């Protein structure tokens, strides 16, 4: 049970990073969109643990999935930094 909780927690951390990168304001972090994102992250962490541990799902397939979503994460990160850098000071 400990392993499943750790994977779910890691999924939560990944989702939290995604929320922080994609949110344009602090108010957006407190919306249903962010809560849903966090819940999906927890679920995905648990599913990854189940597929990897119980069914011996190949790491190669999980790496492909991580690479697919990782590209979206990096693109959102750069987009956010660009938006902050080009914002005019008040």
Mean pLDDT taken over the chain: 81
- The predicted-structure confidence for 63-83, as pLDDT tens digits, reads as follows 667 777 777 777 778 888 888
- What confidence tier does 52 reach under pLDDT thresholds 50, 70, 90? confident
Q: What is the mean pLDDT of residues 12-25?
A: 86
- What confidence tier does 1 reach under pLDDT thresholds 50, 70, 90? confident
DSSP character at residue 56? -
CA-based nearest residue to 19, from 5, 45, 4, 39: 39
* Cα angle 56, 37, 83; round to 5: 120
């Amino acid at each position: 049970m400990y392993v499943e909780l750790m994977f779910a927690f890691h999924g939560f951390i990944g989702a939290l990073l995604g929320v922080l990168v994609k949110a344009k304001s602090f108010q957006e972090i407190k919306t249903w969109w962010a809560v849903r994102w966090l819940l999906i992250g927890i679920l995905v962490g648990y599913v990854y643990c189940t597929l990897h541990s119980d069914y011996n799902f190949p790491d190669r397939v999980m790496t492909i999935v991580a690479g697919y979503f990782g590209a979206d994460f990096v693109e959102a990160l750069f987009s956010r930094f660009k938006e902050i850098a080009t914002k005019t000071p008040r």
